[in-house]
Structure 1
Amino acid sequence: MKLRRFIAIFSLIFILGGTYYGYNAYQKIYVANTKFTQKEVAVYIPSGSDYDKAKELLTPYVEDMEKFDWVAGLKKYPENVKSGKFILTQGMSNNDIVGSMRNPVIVHVSFNNQETLQRLAGRLSQQIEPDSLQILNAFTDKAFLEENGLNEDNVLSIFIPNSYEFYWNTSATKVRDKMIKEYRKFWTPERTAKAEALGLTPLQVSALASIVHKETVKTDERPRVAGVYLNRVNKGMKLEADPTVIYSIKKQSGDFDQVIKRVFFKDLVIDSPYNTYKYAGLPPGPIAMPDITAIDAVLNPEKHNYIYFCASVTNFGYHEFAVTPAQHEVNRQKYVAWVEKMGIKR
């Protein structure tokens, strides 16, 4: 009887102990352990991070780090820390958190309207792990430029404004390799054939498209503006594009933050290869990152006889086009009078 009683008591203790251990383990593994109020938060684990670094970055979002540490060890996370961007959602358990930290998420990287490679590098560095200097060095690498027939003046051409998918910790060189791949994909045989028919290379199309892009924000007007510049090229005229003068001023001063709304005659003589009033032909490279509508406007220009155009003072945002210098002078005088009336000095 005593033996049976002992066995019964021992069994009860064992069952209770197992129940307590199981309940405790369940609490640690499956009960919510977050302490942020947002629906979700992003955690960025830098390349080369160890478990201590990961815990440091997770601490602001985890209620009980001791319990998390226990579950992480159970699931062997300390030996398998990954870098990247990770998403935690409110109410996640330690099991969920560890699972999330094993699956970096995709980052949608976008950019447009950048005037220089330096500014683009800064824009990209805000969205992925590599800093702006690493990105800049990758895209100005001499071997990369030579291999792809590029130089520092025209390398901005390979960036087609869009949204691209990367992992946050993608290296600068891998970002570069993907962008040149996307550039080649963009230049389909059809687009390349259209460029050749115009007597232009893809890089020259990008340079001209950047001027068209800066001249007008109206996408429906861009084919007409492109047609004007192509008419000038075909007649052997200088492009005489105000945006190239503005770019020249900014580039020489090193101040791309300045806003220039008006170009004066004294500005037209600035000695810069980008100044198309002083130098014939296309500038050495794009004066900004043209979007796809501007590139396609150059490839599909409106056929007309216009040689001149000037900002409209009756249909704001658009331009008045002219065939002869006399017609253009009438439009120009209207614009000058409006500018003076508005008091625009620069």
Structure 2
Amino acid sequence: MDEKDKNLSKKEHIRMKLLEQQGEAKLVRKIIMITIASLILLIGIVGLVGFLYINSAMKPVDPDDDTIKKVKIPIGSSVNGISTLLEEQGIIKDARVFKYYIKFRNESGFQAGEYKLSPSMPIEDIVTSIKTGKLMKEAAMKITIPEGKQLIQIADIIAGKTGEDPKKVFKKLNDKKFVKSMQEQFPQLLTSEIENEKVLYPLEGYLFPATYDFYEEKPTLESIVIEMLKKTEETLQAYEGQMDKNDYSVHEMLTFASLVEEEATAQVDRGKIASVFYNRIEEDMPLQTDPTVLYAKGSHKSRVYYKDLEVKSPYNTYKNKGLPPGPIANAGTTSIDAVLKPEKTDYLYFLATPEGEVLYSKTLDDHNNKKAEHISNK
């Protein structure tokens, strides 16, 4: 190969090299452009999704759900704490969005207290409510369930407020499907113990005595019972440790407390009545409490006669030792406290006089003497 051919070969090589580099440069630019476009598209999608999410989070959780929930905001709660609490209660969709909304609006001055809020409330109304300390709605109906009421009496109270037939309400409260649906919603409270065939009414003793506010003109029986069961569950949470210590299930504790509730009078010390029951159990004696006899007979009388004591029923504590199969009424916290923290006494008997006084005895002879003096001649 002469010198001329060599020069041509070098030039051709350089030209090919330049063309190759230009091709690579175009490919790199193309990749860069695609990458930039992809990033812009991704940022746009993320931004759009973020905007839609925030926009959704600013709206009510459920515009059609007017269910009122009690939300307690403790003293000294931070914005972060309030936001988390509202999300947990289902009042807002996202605690972070709510927190940023408050900071962006420079909102402050939130007041501690118990608020009645609903998932249908706009975020502005929620903020206004907890700033002013005012409720957004007045209750349309109040139902008060006193202590010591039995399920049939509670059915009458509910029927009186809702305009329903008391018999239909009571029947619904004992309907197997209805009870099962309540068990599914409150599995820790309504355990399999209420399914015992000896239990007369499964929900007996589980509808807590309290005043309930309802914000619908005519709430369903289901929504009424749910509120009552929520109150029971909420109240009993404070007693979990004591129930574990006493080795009581919820059902056993409510059963025991109902006996104390039904035997107590306004003047009585429930702790002493509970101690009598404990002492009788310790001595392997039947509890022999008259309210269980009346419950077994389905009657409400001021006095129990000897013939009544023969009623055949697992609830008759004159015939059966230990606790009855289930509660015989709803018990308040005073009776629950008495069962879990009874007084220490040696009494095995007590007698409620017509005047409301309760007399205690250690022996049957002393008890009979008091009975002859205060009851037999009345």
Same fold, TM-score > 0.5, yes or no: yes
Partner of 2:284: 236
Partner of 1:337: 373
Partner of 2:226: 177
> Is 1:123 aligned to 2:171, yes or no?
no
Per the alignment, in what secondary structure is the counterpart of residue 156 of structure 1?
coil
Q: Kindly state the Cα deviation for residue 134 of structure 1 after the two structures are TM-superposed.
A: 5.3
Partner of 1:318: 357
Question: How many residues matched?
Answer: 227
Q: Kindly state the Cα deviation for residue 135 of structure 1 after the two structures are TM-superposed.
A: 3.5
Q: Indicate the structure (1 or 2) with the bigger Cα radius of gyration.
A: 2
Name the aligned partner's letter for residue 351 of structure 2: C
* Identity percentage of aligned residues: 27
Say if 1:141 and 1:312 are closer, same or farther in 2 by CA, change over 3 A. closer
Name the aligned partner's letter for residue 319 of structure 1: V
Rounded Cα–Cα distance in structure 2 between residues aligned with 1:234 and 1:340: 29
> Is 1:309 aligned to 2:343, yes or no?
no
> Is 1:111 aligned to 2:152, yes or no?
no
Rounded Cα–Cα distance in structure 1 between residues aligned with 2:344 and 2:160: 42
Is there any run of 5+ residues in structure 2 with no aligned partner, and where? 1-136, 184-189
- 1:54-99 deviations in Å (ceiling 9; x for gaps): xxxxxxxxxxxxxxxxxxxxxxxxxxxxxxxxxxxxxxxxxxxxxx
Partner of 2:337: 296
Say if 1:168 and 1:282 are closer, same or farther in 2 by CA, change over 3 A. farther
Per the alignment, in what secondary structure is the counterpart of residue 143 of structure 2?
strand
Rounded Cα–Cα distance in structure 2 between residues aligned with 1:197 and 1:133: 40
| Greater Cα offset, 224-233 or 193-202 | 193-202
Name the aligned partner's letter for residue 283 of structure 1: P
Kindly indicate whether the alpha-carbon contact (under 8 Å) linking 2:146 and 2:209 is maintained by their aligned counterparts in 1.
yes
Rounded Cα–Cα distance in structure 1 between residues aligned with 2:228 and 2:172: 12
Q: TM-score, normalised by structure 1?
A: 0.58
Rounded Cα–Cα distance in structure 2 between residues aligned with 1:181 and 1:341: 46
Q: Kindly state the Cα deviation for residue 114 of structure 1 after the two structures are TM-superposed.
A: 6.1
Of 276, 284, 301, which residue of structure 2 is paired with 1:259? Answer: 301
Per the alignment, in what secondary structure is the counterpart of residue 320 of structure 1?
strand
Per the alignment, in what secondary structure is the counterpart of residue 108 of structure 1?
strand
Q: TM-score, normalised by structure 2?
A: 0.54
Q: Kindly state the Cα deviation for residue 144 of structure 1 after the two structures are TM-superposed.
A: 4.5
Say if 1:334 and 1:308 are closer, same or farther in 2 by CA, change over 3 A. closer
Partner of 1:286: 327
Partner of 1:273: 314
Kindly indicate whether the alpha-carbon contact (under 8 Å) linking 1:310 and 1:321 is maintained by their aligned counterparts in 2.
yes
Partner of 2:266: 218
Is there any run of 5+ residues in structure 1 with no aligned partner, and where? 1-102
Q: Kindly state the Cα deviation for residue 271 of structure 1 after the two structures are TM-superposed.
A: 0.9
Where do 1:141-160 residues align within 5 Å? 141-146=175-180, 147=183, 148-149=190-191, 150-151=194-195, 153-160=201-208
Partner of 1:21: none
Rounded Cα–Cα distance in structure 2 between residues aligned with 1:206 and 1:174: 22
